[in-house]
Structure 1
Amino acid sequence: MTMSRRSLLQAALAAPAVIGFARQAHAAQTLKISHQFPGGTVDEGDFRDRLCRKFAQELEKRSNGGLVAQVYPGSSLMKTNSQFSALRKGALDLSFYPLPYAGGEVVETNIGLMPCLVTSYEQAAAWKKAPIGRKITEIMNAKGIVMVSWVWQSGGVASRERPLLSPEDAKGMKVRGGSREFDLMLKAAGAATLSLPSNESYAAMQTGACDAVVTSSTSLISFHLDELSKGFTSGQGRSFWFMLEPLMMSKTIFDALPKPQQDLIMQIGEEMESFGTEGAKADDKQVEEVFRKAGAKVVVMDEPTLGKWRTIARDTAWKDYANRNATCAELLKLAEGMA
């Protein structure tokens, strides 16, 4: 069929608009990733920052530039405690965030730092695809959050004076535990507790407001707590402190993306999990060397000592959490089944 002169003219006039629309459709979507940890590079620094940068690198590469992510370390984009709420509202795209920090807003998330509940990386890794993991994913989706990467970290204790190893050691100490449930256990052991993000731990120890900090091995290194400590309890091997620290995305932002981009985000997120576990385990070893080199007395938790803490945790933290609501009770029961 031969086109008329009018048809050719109309097609020519419409072409720039069509081309413009096509360019807009393929324009890069820029995502912002926020976290509270020190910044570095893809190859050096805190592994949590590196994980975010590797995720961003792979995302841009495999989307052919369709998805670009910028990493904002050190709470430089927004304050630590504001990030979870911002994700839920769609005001932040992604955050590598300690899940129990959200406990004041979504009480169920405190399962991510329940003392003595998770005691190994193998047990932790099994959560994601088990009923407990599916339930957490369901809860988070309902709250406007997509779990992109599941990362667990073991933790230790940095102390200004004597090591905090057994429940008897806690008496009279001012301790940062990291969650409501951890604080309940510590209080039952005779400690006073204070609530603050791990990136504020150095200042608290420096001023004497805090005698001991319980946090991940990586944070103990990155925030230089060895400079203020004479005692250190290692999280390598056995630990009463395991935290779920996922890379999370706003469901509002996620749902607005095309399905292929959603699938790519989840695929890369899952691939990052092995990197996260390897980084956490490496830091469990390195942190002992760092504190020993700084002159701190390094102690390791054995099974009988862990058992003492578990007895206290069951009677305080676990019981309190289960009584918060029916969903918490269900989560705890599912988690106990993973032991």
Structure 2
Amino acid sequence: MITRRSLLATAATGAGLLACPAVLRAQSPKVLKLSHQFPGGTIDQGDARDRIARRFGQAVEQRTGGSLQVQVYPTSSLMKTLAQFSAVRKGALDMSLVPLSYAGGEVVETNLALMPALVSSYEQAARWRTARIGEELAKTLSDKGVIILTWVWQSGAVASRVKPILEPGDVKGVKIRGGGREMDMMFQAAGGIVSTMPSSEMYIGMQTGALEAAVSASTSLISFRLDEMTKNLTAGRGRSFWFILEPLIMSKATFDALTPEQRQAVRDVGQEMEAFSFEAAKADDEEIVKIYAARGAKVHDLTDAHIAKWKELARDTAWKDFSAKNARCAELLKLAEQVA
């Protein structure tokens, strides 16, 4: 029999639950959606970018006592590849791990993230976050509605169905994918026939003959199985003229809506992921050599002399064009050049 006393007791219990944030967090965790274009796997196996996303999610959930969870959607299963950055900016998507140069048409300053021969080693790339360039690039993105949580850098390799690509003269007459506007501009100046497409479409490009060579992160060239069609591989181990920033990003609207404790957790975990991201990228730079060589591809390494030629061409083409876009672009490029 339900009495007035039992009803009051039930109401009091409910009020107690509402007054207890810990109980609410346990009952109703905030779930963040993280979309990326790379193949899915597990927290220990598969594409390094997917593993970074999953490790981040696991660590954030642990750090926040379950009040914050991250659902990872690989292979652009939640949202198309080129729509992800814009969606993060607008708050329509919580998080992404995305090649920052893909946003160049929307935020021109992001083309700095794949500026040819600007970064040539992981040691140089690692200095960006704490250098002035890192502060200013992060501010530019924050002003556009995007927060950088993890600075993920990847060295680039060149998969070629034709001759090896080592210096600018080698791309003349070759149908090549550079991965970004500035890279494509440099290849065009060297006589290359540029094809524009996201890395997820490289395989079909090589398969149909639309591409003869593709430059991308070692991780991508492994994940997207270009070894099946490659005769010559220019490895990105140790040094490269192609380094890309593919950060783990969060919508500023999402970030601002978190509790102070949650914001601190995602900041801390994001920075902690950086060490793993570098280790994974370097490991893939070595792994790609084994995989492609096993398929019969000839492996070539870049020398300092090769990179110097790319840098000379890049200064006269991509760098010059980027600096002329606006004063902010010119300022960012100068700051990046200061990082030895």
Shift of 1:13: 3.7
Instruction: Show CA shifts across 1:63-115 (max 9, x none).
Output: 11111111111111111001001101111111011111110100000111100
* Residue matched to 2:17: 19
Shift of 1:325: 0.4
* Residue matched to 1:220: 221
SS at 2:33 equivalent: strand
The answer (yes or no) to whether the contact 2:64–2:261 under 8 Å persists in 1 is no
SS at 2:66 equivalent: coil
Alpha-carbon separation, structure 2, partners of 1:124 and 1:304 = 20
Alpha-carbon separation, structure 1, partners of 2:68 and 2:270 = 14
Alpha-carbon separation, structure 2, partners of 1:272 and 1:240 = 25
SS at 2:159 equivalent: strand
The answer (yes or no) to whether the contact 2:25–2:66 under 8 Å persists in 1 is no
SS at 1:104 equivalent: coil
Q: Quick check: 1:302 aligned with 2:303?
A: yes
* Residue matched to 2:317: 316
Count of equivalent residues: 334
What letter corresponds to residue 279 of structure 1 in structure 2? A
Alpha-carbon separation, structure 2, partners of 1:249 and 1:321 = 26
* Residue matched to 1:246: 247
What letter corresponds to residue 292 of structure 1 in structure 2? A
* Residue matched to 1:85: 86
Shift of 1:15: 3.9
SS at 1:243 equivalent: strand
Q: CA RMSD in A?
A: 1.7
Shift of 1:306: 1.1
SS at 2:96 equivalent: strand
Equivalent positions of 1:220-299 (< 5 A) are 220-299=221-300
* Residue matched to 1:55: 56
What letter corresponds to residue 168 of structure 2 in structure 1? P
Q: Quick check: 1:130 aligned with 2:131?
A: yes
Equivalent positions of 1:34-49 (< 5 A) are 34-49=35-50
SS at 1:30 equivalent: strand
What letter corresponds to residue 174 of structure 1 in structure 2? K
Instruction: Show CA shifts across 1:213-244 (max 9, x none).
Output: 00000001110001011111111122100001
Q: Quick check: 1:169 aligned with 2:170?
A: yes
Shift of 1:195: 1.3
Shift of 1:307: 1.0
Instruction: Show CA shifts across 1:143-194 (max 9, x none).
Output: 1001000011101100112111111110001111011100111001000111
Shift of 1:14: 4.4
Equivalent positions of 1:92-131 (< 5 A) are 92-131=93-132
Instruction: Show CA shifts across 1:19-78 (max 9, x none).
Output: 246444552011111111111111111111111111111111121111111111111111
What letter corresponds to residue 16 of structure 1 in structure 2? G
The answer (yes or no) to whether the contact 2:160–2:230 under 8 Å persists in 1 is yes
Alpha-carbon separation, structure 1, partners of 2:234 and 2:42 = 29
Alpha-carbon separation, structure 2, partners of 1:16 and 1:288 = 61
Alpha-carbon separation, structure 1, partners of 2:41 and 2:73 = 11
Q: TM-score, normalised by structure 1?
A: 0.95
Shift of 1:17: 3.5
The answer (yes or no) to whether the contact 2:169–2:190 under 8 Å persists in 1 is yes
Alpha-carbon separation, structure 2, partners of 1:312 and 1:83 = 32
Q: 5+ residue gaps in structure 1?
A: 1-5
Alpha-carbon separation, structure 2, partners of 1:334 and 1:59 = 32
SS at 1:37 equivalent: coil
The answer (yes or no) to whether the contact 2:232–2:297 under 8 Å persists in 1 is yes
SS at 2:104 equivalent: helix
Alpha-carbon separation, structure 1, partners of 2:226 and 2:33 = 29
Equivalent positions of 1:151-162 (< 5 A) are 151-162=152-163
The answer (yes or no) to whether the contact 2:25–2:67 under 8 Å persists in 1 is no
Alpha-carbon separation, structure 1, partners of 2:289 and 2:244 = 19
